[in-house]
Structure 1
Amino acid sequence: MDQYLAASKYIDFDHPEVTALARDLASRASSEADLVRACFEFVRDEIRHSSDFKLNPVTCKASDVLRFKTGYCYAKSHLLAALLRANGIPAGLCYQRLSLAGDGAPFCLHGLNAAWLKDFGWYRVDARGNKPGVDAQFQPPREALAFATDAPGERDLPEIWAEPLALIVDALERYDSYDQVLAKLPDIELAN
């Protein structure tokens, strides 16, 4: 589990502002579930999704997401992983491949998290931010993610990564504005 507890360039919970927020959230929690819920709800509700709110700058590092209070789903997942790891809760990154129109190609990756809960094991949460038609919740053991993978070609990728995928980092660091990222959302080809 060490890799899911480590600070890194993008999951930089060793940054003073991230550390302070993690401690503050922990100080108000009475259980592991309360703490995970508090971290999840903070990122879901207090960090605005870049394309939903048409916000710049494009963020990638957890500390930048917190500083600018905005990020794409991928960047928001970096902050949630950082807050959880800072509090000793193993956390990883997960991805879904989703249809942009809901009925097939084109596709893009969507970023979310998995947290290791002592009572349930790995549990996926999606802090992208709720809006009409999107209602992600923390309700273990039942997952309540932002998106289902029902359309042809959509898929829940089963891996739990300790670090963001290179193509995600590239997309977030290559472009200067939310609309440039939106026009070039990352995707991968899936094996049948």
Structure 2
Amino acid sequence: MKAYLEASEYIDWQTPNILNKAKELAQDLSNHQDITKTCFEFVRNNIKHSWDDQLNPVTCKASDILQHETGYCFAKSLLLAALLRANHIPTALCYQRLTIEVGKPPFSLHGFNAVFLPDFDWYRIDARGNKKDVDTQFIPHQEQLAFDTVYSGEIDFSQRFAKPLDIVVQSLTKNKSFEEFANNLPDLKGLTQS
């Protein structure tokens, strides 16, 4: 579990703005499930999705995501991991490979989280942000992610990662605007399908 609690360059939970927000969100809450739900709903509802809201800058570090209040799904998963790890809750990064246009190539990765809850083991949550046809929720006995993998070539990867994939970091740090990022979405065929 130690790896899923560590701070890193992009899950920089030891920075003052992350620590302060994590403490604020956990105030008066006594168990991991309640803290996780509060942090999840904060990121889902208050951090705008860069493409949905057409916002710059393209963010990658959790502290920058919190400061600018915007990020793609990958960024939002990094912020959620930082807030939860700051509250001593083991949190991993997870990925799916999805079609960009319904049912046909090209493909892009989608990022979300898995959190370890003592009463439920690992539980996957997706703070991507709700919109028409996307309804993510925190319901520990049931998984409710933003997207299902249903089309040929789509993959729901089974791995949990302590740090973001290099291809995701490269895409988030190389592309300087939400449009540029949208035209260069990261894709990966490897890993293991669940």
Specify the code of the residue in structure 2 equivalent to 1:156: D
Query: Which of structure 1's runs of 4+ aligned residues deviate more than 3 A?
Result: none
Taking the aligned partners of 1:190 and 1:30, their CA distance within structure 2 comes to: 40
Residue 141 of structure 1 deviates from its aligned partner by 1.9
* Aligned residue-pair number: 192
How do 1:43-192 and structure 2 match up within 5 A?
43-190=43-190
Taking the aligned partners of 1:179 and 1:190, their CA distance within structure 2 comes to: 26
Residue 101 of structure 1 deviates from its aligned partner by 1.1
In the alignment, structure 2 segments of 5+ residues that lack a partner are none
Residue 32 of structure 1 deviates from its aligned partner by 1.6
Kindly indicate whether residue 18 of structure 2 is the aligned counterpart of residue 10 of structure 1: no
Residue 167 of structure 1 deviates from its aligned partner by 0.3
* 1:43-85 deviation line (CA, Å, top 9, x unaligned): 0000000000000000000000000000000000000000000
Q: Which moved more, 1:158-167 or 1:181-190?
A: 181-190
Specify the code of the residue in structure 1 equivalent to 2:55: L
Taking the aligned partners of 2:102 and 2:149, their CA distance within structure 1 comes to: 9
* 1:137-185 deviation line (CA, Å, top 9, x unaligned): 0001210000011111111110000000000000000011000000110
Secondary structure in structure 1 of the residue aligned to 2:104: coil
In the alignment, structure 1 segments of 5+ residues that lack a partner are none
Specify the code of the residue in structure 1 equivalent to 2:127: A
| TM-score, structure 1 as length reference | 0.98
Specify the code of the residue in structure 2 equivalent to 1:136: T
* 1:16-43 deviation line (CA, Å, top 9, x unaligned): 0000000011114242211100000000
Aligned residues: CA RMSD: 1.1
| TM-score, structure 2 as length reference | 0.97
Partners of 1:91 and 1:114 within 8 A in 2: yes
Taking the aligned partners of 1:21 and 1:37, their CA distance within structure 2 comes to: 14
Partners of 2:97 and 2:189 within 8 A in 1: no
